[in-house]
Structure 1
Amino acid sequence: MMDAARYVGTLVAFALIVGLIWWKIVPPVRKMMRARQETIRQQIEESKRADERLAEAERKYAGAVAEAKTEAAVIRDQARADALRIVDEMKARAQQEVERIKQRGEEHLAQQHQQIIRELRAEIGQAAAELAGRIVREHLAQAGNRTATVDRFLDELDETSARTDEAVPAGAGEGAS
């Protein structure tokens, strides 16, 4: 019996300890577990929201990258178009400069040509005058030629004078004096 009393005493003591644990320890542990579960649930929700925000950020990033690539392509195409336009403009300017230089060269060449022609005419005129003077001096150096030249000159003067008298009317010469 003693054993049964001890058994019952142990059982009552065990029940008291379990009751005490149930009354004093279980509620705070449950409260703590509920708080822990709530914290975990909130962390899971925050994690889901973070995943959603991450996914949204990745979509935005991908969109921004695609937009940046598109803009880069547009800028690259514009740069190529600008480069081609600049090359065309430079070619046109170079062609204009070539034409201007060519025209100036032609004008300069024409001026030089005219200058050379003037110089040649002057030299040829001077040489012709010197040659004519030499020929006339050599011709007049001979006495017979000199007499014939003077006579011919006087005859030409008489003819010119006679033609002038015939061309002028008889009364016109008197009224002029």
Structure 2
Amino acid sequence: MAAATIAVLAAEGEQNPLLPAVYDIVWSIVALAVVAFVFWKFVLPMAQKVLDERTDKIEGGLQRAEEAQVEAKETLEQYRAQLAEARTEAAQIREDARLQGQQIITEMKAQAQEESERIVAAGHTQLAAQRQQIVTELRGDLGRTAVDLAEKVIGESLSDDVKRAGSIDRFLDELDSVDKTAAGK
């Protein structure tokens, strides 16, 4: 079989079996050039466009993420500032309420003291009026009792109103002078 292969090779001429025929190489180069031209003209721009879009999306996404992060930081700072302001305002409100409470307590104490003083003054006034009334009643009773005793001691009737009034007044004056000297000691 080796002899037959050598005979075929000798008939075709001296051509290297590893190299294809020249017409195969030319047509292969033409086909490769057409495919390369189509690939370079249509496929590569589409692939580049897709890559550019992806790059834009990635870079845009990163940029949007950075912008969102900056915005989030600004919003967080605003929130913290508002929170600090709200805390300050709440502290001020608490302080105002505490001061108002103290003021109300002070006013209520003052009103209670005034009311107490008014009640005590009214009690003293009423007590003085009652004392005066009782003293007047006692003087009258004491005068009648003194006249009755004097009538019994003297044995005569002191029915005369003028005499009775004079005797009662004299007796009461003597009692007042005794009370004053006893109070002075």
- Consecutive unaligned residues of structure 2, counting only runs of 5 or more, are 1-9, 167-185
**Stretch of structure 1 that moved more, 55-64 or 123-132:** 123-132
Q: Output aligned runs, 1:1-177, within 5 Å.
A: 1=10, 2=12, 4=15, 10-23=21-34, 25-30=35-40, 31-144=42-155, 146=157, 153=163
Larger helix fraction of residues: 1
Aligned counterparts of 2:77 and 2:149: Cα–Cα separation in 1? 105
Determine the C-alpha separation between the residues in 2 that align with 1:15 and 1:108. 133
* Aligned-partner Cα distance in 1 for 2:109–2:70: 57
Amino acid at match of 1:102: Q
Unaligned runs of 5+ in 1: 157-177
CA shift for structure 1 position 11: 4.4
**How many aligned residue pairs are there?**
151
Give the alignment's Cα RMSD to 1 decimal.
Answer: 2.8
Question: What secondary structure sits across from 2:101 in the alignment?
Answer: helix
| AA aligned opposite 1:27 | F
Q: Deviations over 1:70-109 (max 9, x none)?
A: 2211221121112101210121122112111221121112
The one-character-per-residue Cα deviations of 1:135-155 (angstroms, maximum 9, x if unpaired) are 1111022445657x97x95xx
- In the alignment, the residues of structure 2 paired with residue 84 and residue 106 of structure 1 have an alpha-carbon distance, to the nearest angstrom, of 33
Bigger RCO (CA 8 Å, 6+ sep): 2
Report sequence identity in percent.
Answer: 9
User: Distance in 1 between the 2:52 and 2:124 partners?
Assistant: 104
Structure 2 distance, partners of 1:76, 1:130, is 79
TM-score (norm 2): 0.68
